[in-house]
Amino acid sequence: MRRPLIRKLEKFTRLSQADKEMLVRIAAQRVRRFAAREDIIHEGEKPEFINLINEGWACRYKTLEDGRRQIIAFFLPGDLCDLNVFILKEMDHSIGAITPVAVSEISRAAFDEMMIGHPRITQALWWESLVAAAIQREWTVNLGQRDALERMAHLLCELFIRLEAAGCTSDSSCEFPLTQTELGETLGMSTVHVNRTLQELRASNLIVLKDRTLTIPNLQALQDVALFNPNYLHLDREGRHLDANEE
């Protein structure tokens, strides 16, 4: 069985056996499953748990009064929703499943226990939440400055690299469940233009996207058209070059 959270956190720091057991235990209790398109939590509800995505893809989204919808973030396997959300009185956005998902609910008590007894996990979770914030900032840059082609390319690079960190890719391919409508809601463009843009990336041999599978034959080339700089993902562990025996 894959443990995407552990795999991801180890990009940041080494975890002890006890740390890993703790994380497995946390992820095992209170697992809920949702069908594709189902809401995990809805705007206005009181948040009671930290959600951890174990399997599948989910997203944050927000809907304006007049129906326009914006996808604000994607949650991939191993992603945590919001450390400490329970401080807030109510959700200001919704979280919905994109594919069928398995989610672990982490209670306030379990979270506090972890923070006290496992300083390395605490550090690693801080890191993961700082990275999540950095991703959100990069999306701001993406929407504000890049044109449609760059924007799409950037999103694909990011998702691919994040999936890789969670151990959800093989070679240069990954599952890719997003519809063109969802891509449009993410990138702030119409489905028509999403289609045009994907065609353009295909025509340049930058991507192969078919049957919910994405292949990126030359990631560097795609990064180049996206003006993609992976530094915001903070995946380079302190002293990583010393750990030749990994990956």
Q: Which residues contact DNA (rule: CB under 7 A)?
A: 147-149, 179-181, 188-193, 195-196, 198-199
Binding site for its own copies (CB under 8 A): 60, 62, 64-66, 68-70, 72-73, 82, 84-85, 87-90, 92-93, 123, 126-127, 130, 133-134, 136-141, 143-146, 185-188, 227, 229, 231-232, 234, 236, 238
**Residue 126 CB, nearest approach to its own copies (Å):** 5
Q: What is the DSSP string of the chain?
A: ---HHHHHHTTT----HHHHHHHHHHHHSSEEEE-TT-EEE-TTSPP-SEEEEEES-EEEEEE-TTS-EEEEEEE-TT-B--TTGGGSSS-SSEEEESS-EEEEEE-HHHHHHHHHH-HHHHHHHHHHHHHHHHHHHHHHHHHHH--HHHHHHHHHHHHHHHHHHTT-EETTEEE----HHHHHHHHT--HHHHHHHHHHHHHTTS-EEETTEEE-S-HHHHHHHHT--GGGG----TTGGG-TT--
Which of DNA, its own copies, none binds 139 (CB below 5-8 Å, type-dependent)?
Answer: its own copies
Tell me which of its own copies, DNA, none is bound by residue 133, counting a contact when its beta carbon lies within the kind-specific cut-off of 5 to 8 angstroms. its own copies
Task: Report what 171 binds from DNA, its own copies, none; CB cut-off 5-8 Å by kind.
Answer: none
Comparing CB distances to its own copies, the nearer of 76 and 168 is 76
Q: In angstroms, what is the minimal distance from the CB of 216 to its own copies?
A: 20
